Amino acid sequence: MTITETAVRRPQLQEEVQRRRTFAIISHPDAGKTTLTEKLLLYGNAVEMAGSVRTRKNHRHARSDWMAMEQERGISITSTVLQFEYQDCCINLLDTPGHEDFSEDTYRTLMAVDSAIMVIDAAKGIEPQTRKLFEVCRMRRIPILTFVNKMDHLAREPLELLDEIENVLGIPAAAMNWPIGDGPTFQGVYDLQAGQVLRFSRTEHSQHKAPLTVSDLGDPALLSALGDAAHAQLVEDIDLLQGAGMPFDPELYGAGKLTPVYFGSALNNFGVEPFLQELIRLAPPPQPRAAEDGSPVIPANEEFSAFVFKIQANMNPKHRDSVAFARICSGRFAKDMLVKHPRHKKGLRLSRPYQVFAQERVSLEEAYPGDVIALANPGLFAIGDTIYTGNRVEFQPLPRFQPELFAAVRNQDTSKHKQFHKGLEQLVREGAIQRLYPADESNVPLLAAVGELQFQVLKARLRTEYNVEVELEFLSFTAAKRVLGRAEDIRQVKWPYRIMHAKDDDGTPVALFASQWDLRQCLERHAELDFRLEDLGFTVDPH
C-alpha cells in the first residue's frame, strides 16, 4: 500500500468508526425488549410498519425472534444482529435472549457491544433477570441507557422507580424526560433537557409512527387533557427534579457509573423516536478492546481484527448451515480478504461474508469496527476465536457458565444416526449446551446445561431442523469437573460412590458429582496428590 493510499484510507476508517453505535438490549422476560427492538427499527426506517422488513422484493417478517419456539412462547432465546442507518449513524442492534436459561448467550453478546439499553417494566420495576444482566454490564463498565416501558399501563410512581434503580442496582439514575400521565391517561413525556412537552397520538394497531406535537407546559390542550390536579402534579414533579434531581453527567455515564432514564411506551410508539435520537447522541462509538496480553486494540488501527461471539445453525431452513458472528474490533473488512486464525495456525480467505437482518441475508463487501459480520462456518470457527491481519493478536477468551443440569440424549431412530450426530455437533457449537461422553464408551452422549429450557430447545430443534427424535434422561448430578494432573496420580484417586466418569470433546477426563459434599470430600481426601479439578470452561455465576 502506498503512502497516499494509507492517507486516504485512515480518515475514512476513522469517520466510519465514529458513526457506528453498537449496543444490546437487556431486560427481564416480558418487559417489552422485543417490542422496543421492532419500534427502533420502525423509527430507523428499517421497516415500513412494525412487523415487516423493507426489502426490494416484498415485506418480510421483522421479528428478531425468528425461531418457531420463540414465536410460540413469546420469549427470546437467541441473539440476533440487526443493522440500520439513522441520521448519518450506522446502528448495530444486538437483540439478546430474555430467558434466564440463556443468560450465557446474552453474556457473550454483551462482550461484543459498546453500550446497552436496559428495559424496565413500569409496573414491576427491577426484576431478577434485569439485575443479573446489569451486573454483567457493570463488570464490563458498559454505559447503560434505561427505558422505562409500558407507561400506557398502570405504573408505579416515577420517583419510586428512580429510587429503586439507585437502591437495587446501586447506580445513580438521572431522569432525562418525565411521563405525562400513565395507563389510559399516558400521552407523552416532558423533555427535561429541552424544556418541551412531547405529546403523541395513537395509530391503528401501533404499526406506524405516532404523530408528535411539541409544546410547553402552558399548552391549554395539555391542561385540558390532564385536568387541573394532574397538571399541577406534573409541574410540581418537574420543579422538584430540576431543583433536587440527579443531574446528567456524560463522564459518569461513559464510565458506566450513571444511567440516564427515559419513560415511554414501545407498544404505542410513545417516546421511542426521542429515545433513539438520544441513543445516537449519547452512546459511544466503538471503543478499544483489550487483547489477551492486556494491550489495547484501537478501532482506527489499519490492521483488521475481530472475534467470534456467537454461532448459530439453521437460521434459514433453505440454507441448513452454520453461521459464525464476528464483531470487528479494528481495521476495514473487505470481502475475500485473507486473515490469520491462530487456533488453526493457518490463513483463511473470507469469501462469503454477509449481514443478517432477521432471516434476511445480504452479501457484504466491506465492514468497519463495531459491525458484526456473518461468516459461513463449516466447522472452522468456535466461540471466542480471533481472526486478524498483520501482527498477531488474540482477544481474551469468552467465559462460560458452569452447568448445573445433566442429561443423557438418545436417538430414537438408529437409521438417522448421521442426522443425529450432525445436528448435535452443530447445536453444541452454539455454546448453550456442552457435550460429554461416558468413560464406559456406551456411545450415549451426555449433555450439560445451565437450565432445563436449553434441553427443551435442543430437543425441539433436533426434531424440526434435523428430523430426529430424541429422548432425554436427566441425571442426578449437580457438578462436573475436568480432572487434570499426572495419570498415575489420577489412578490413585478413590472416587466417591455416586460419581460418573466421562470425557469432553478434547478427550480430557471429566468427573460428575452427585453433590457438593462429594466434591469437597474428594478434594480433601487427596490433598497430597498432584491432580486438580477444574470447572468446565470459565466459571461465571449466572445467578
**Do residues 326 and 348 lie in contact, with contact meaning Cβ atoms separated by under 8 Å?**
no
Q: What is the pLDDT of residues 182-207, one digit of tens each?
A: 898 899 999 999 999 999 988 876 77
Region 324-343: what's the mean pLDDT?
A: 95
The pTM assigned to this predicted structure is: 0.84
Phi and psi, residue 45, nearest 5°: 60, 25
Percent of the chain with pLDDT over 90: 49
Residue 90 pLDDT class (50, 70, 90 cuts): very high
> What average pLDDT score do residues 13-30 get?
93
Q: Where in the chain is the domain with CATH 3.40.50.300?
A: 25-76+115-282
The CATH 3.30.70.3280 portion of the chain extends over 400-540
CA distances (Å), origin 527, targets 472, 508, 533: 36, 21, 12
Alpha helices in 44-181 (DSSP H): 68-73, 103-110, 128-140, 158-169
Among 19-23, 313-317, 444-448, the minimum mean pLDDT is found in 313-317
pLDDT at 322 over 70: yes
Q: What is the pLDDT of residue 489?
A: 86
Provide the 8-state DSSP code for 211. Answer: P
The span from the CA of 386 to the CA of 400, in Å, is 17
Q: How far apart are CA 241 and CA 166, in angstroms?
A: 15
Q: Could you give the CA distance from residue 421 to residue 444 in angstroms, rounded to a whole number?
A: 11
pLDDT, position 95:
74
Backbone angles phi, psi at 435, to 5 degrees: -115, 140
Helix residue ranges per DSSP H, 250-294 = 250-254, 272-282
At 102, list the grid cell. Answer: 440463556
Q: Is the pLDDT of residue 365 over 60?
A: yes
Write out pLDDT tens, residues 247-272. 999 999 999 999 999 999 999 999 99
Q: What is the pLDDT of residue 65?
A: 44
Whole-number average pLDDT of the chain: 86
The Cα–Cα gap between 161 and 144 comes to 16
CATH code reported for the domain at 25-76+115-282: 3.40.50.300
398-456 confidence digits (pLDDT tens): 877 788 899 999 999 989 999 999 999 888 888 888 999 998 877 899 999 888 888 88
- Can you name the CATH fold of 400-540? Alpha-Beta Plaits (3.30.70)
Distance CA(12)–CA(502), nearest Å, equals 53
452, with CB counted inside 10 A (0-12, 13-18, 19+), is middle
Beta strand 509-513 pairing with 479-485: antiparallel
Cell of 468: 430426529
**Grid coordinates in use for 459?**
430437543
pLDDT value of position 492: 87
* pLDDT of amino acid 403: 85
Rounded to whole angstroms, the Cα distance separating 43 from 266 reads 11
- CATH number corresponding to 289-388: 2.40.30.10
Mean per-residue pLDDT for 17-45? 92
Q: Per-residue pLDDT tens for 64-73? A: 444 555 555 5
The H-or-E segment that residue 312 falls in is: strand 305-313
Among 90-99, 160-169, 246-255, 483-492, which is the least confidently predicted range? 90-99
Looking from the CA of 297 toward its CB, the CA atoms found within 13 Å total: 29
Please report, for residues 121, 130, 177, 179, 211, the alpha-carbon distance to residue 31 in angstroms, rounded to integers and kept in the order given.
5, 9, 19, 18, 24
Beta strands in 223-337 (DSSP E): 259-263, 289-290, 296-297, 305-313, 322-330, 333-334
* DSSP state, residue 417: H
- pLDDT at position 496, please? 85
Q: What are phi and psi of 252, to 5 degrees?
A: -65, -40
* Sequence ranges of the chain with CATH classification 2.40.30.10: 289-388
The one-character DSSP state at 111 is: T
CA–CA dist 543, 530 (Å, integer)? 32
DSSP letter assigned to residue 429: H
